[in-house]
């Protein structure tokens, strides 16, 4: 998609972090923005930021783990802007603890948001992109899908690994059958987001993670590290904008961490398929 102006982007997880940053950057490119998140107040705040730069946006409270919510998101987008050209399946949560102590409800919640949210987003919006003959999908994975993350919750790592595989397969399918539809996978490393406080959105019917002093200490350290050293989400969003315009598949925020682990897959990692930052 060489030009984004006057087109419409749908961004899930748009209330904060990378989702908010992508929404703002797309708006600055002249796009209409459909904001989705479970936190309506956060959405409305971002909508106000977008209005301040002269772009149009709507806020749609959305639980991406529920297909009917994604279908409603699609319908609201079409009602407001008569089309959808760019879909960013970005919403994510993290929860868990020592593997043996993770309750099934936690697995269901994290996989529901982080994996099924991406599946729903692709399945619901892809037919629109195919029908109109153009479009782009960006799925958010994680460097954890490539490196693993000691003491990071297994459901998050499992979901993000599946998102990477799903995106690779979808990219290959579109290249073979519908090359006018672009696919990118965003693989962020340390970025200043609210991911470490995902428990704030934990549904009431999802069991709280078992107490783990070690995990609490790790989360505290990670939170402090990200605040001090993490990449600015707006810089990540700049990388996504470039990748969409140039039809690059891999969008890696921290090349050293990611590429070192996957050098055996260099055939998929050529310079014309990777957007990255060495920050």
Q: Quote the pLDDT of residue 262.
A: 53
**pLDDT score for 229:** 65
Can you give the pLDDT at residue 1? Answer: 83
Choose, from 136, 156, 250, 276, the residue flagged as catalytic: 156
pLDDT of residue 2: 86
Per run of 10 residues, the mean pLDDT along the chain (length 279 residues) is 94 97 98 97 97 98 98 98 98 86 92 98 98 97 82 86 98 98 94 65 71 61 62 94 97 70 46 44
Q: Count CB neighbours of 54 within 10 A.
A: 9
Q: Which two tokens stand for residue 9?
A: 């982007």
3-state secondary structure the chain: CCCCCCCEEEEECCCCHHHHHHHHHHHHCCCEEEEEECCHHHHHHHHHHHHHCCCCEEEEECCCCCHHHHHHHHHHHHHHHCCCCEEEECCCCCCCCCHHHCCHHHHHHHHHHHHHHHHHHHHHHHHHHHHHCCEEEEEECCCHHHHCCCCCCHHHHHHHHHHHHHHHHHHHHHHHHCCCEEEEEEECCCECCCHHHHHHHCCCCCCCCCCCHHHHHHHHHHHHHHHHHCECHHHHHHHHHHHHHHCCCEEECCHHHHHCCCHHHHHHCCCCCEEECCC
Q: What are the two backbone dihedrals, phi and then psi, of residue 251, each rounded to the nearest 5 degrees?
A: -120, 100
pTM of the model: 0.87
Determine the Cα–Cα distance for residues 254 and 189; give it in Å rounded to an integer. Answer: 6
Is 156 one of the annotated active-site residues of the chain? yes
């Amino acid at each position: 998609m060489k030009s984004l102006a006057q087109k419409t982007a749908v961004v899930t997880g748009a209330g904060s972090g990378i989702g908010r940053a992508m929404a703002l950057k797309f708006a600055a490119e002249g796009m209409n923005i459909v904001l989705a998140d479970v936190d309506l107040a956060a959405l409305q705040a971002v909508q106000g930021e977008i209005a301040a730069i002269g772009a149009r946006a709507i806020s749609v409270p959305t639980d991406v783990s529920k297909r009917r919510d994604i279908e409603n998101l699609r319908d609201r987008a079409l009602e407001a802007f008569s089309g959808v050209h760019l879909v960013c399946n970005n919403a994510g949560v993290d929860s868990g603890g020592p593997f043996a102590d993770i309750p099934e409800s936690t697995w269901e919640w994290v996989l529901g948001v982080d994996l099924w949210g991406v599946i729903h987003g692709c399945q619901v919006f892809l037919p629109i992109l195919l029908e109109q003959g153009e479009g782009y999908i960006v799925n958010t994975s994680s460097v954890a899908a490539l490196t693993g993350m000691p003491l990071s919750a297994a459901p998050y790592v499992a979901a993000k690994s599946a998102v990477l595989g799903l995106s690779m397969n979808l990219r290959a399918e579109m290249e073979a059958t519908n090359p006018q539809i672009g696919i990118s996978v965003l693989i962020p490393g340390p970025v200043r987001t609210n991911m470490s406080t995902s428990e704030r959105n934990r549904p009431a019917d999802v069991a709280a993670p078992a107490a783990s002093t070690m995990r609490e200490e790790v989360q505290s350290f990670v939170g402090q590290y990200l605040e001090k050293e993490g990449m600015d989400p707006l810089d990540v969003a700049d990388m996504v904008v470039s990748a969409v315009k140039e039809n690059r598949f891999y969008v890696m925020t921290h090349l050293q961490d990611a590429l070192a682990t996957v050098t055996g897959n260099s055939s998929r990692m050529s310079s014309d398929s990777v957007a990255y930052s060495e920050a």
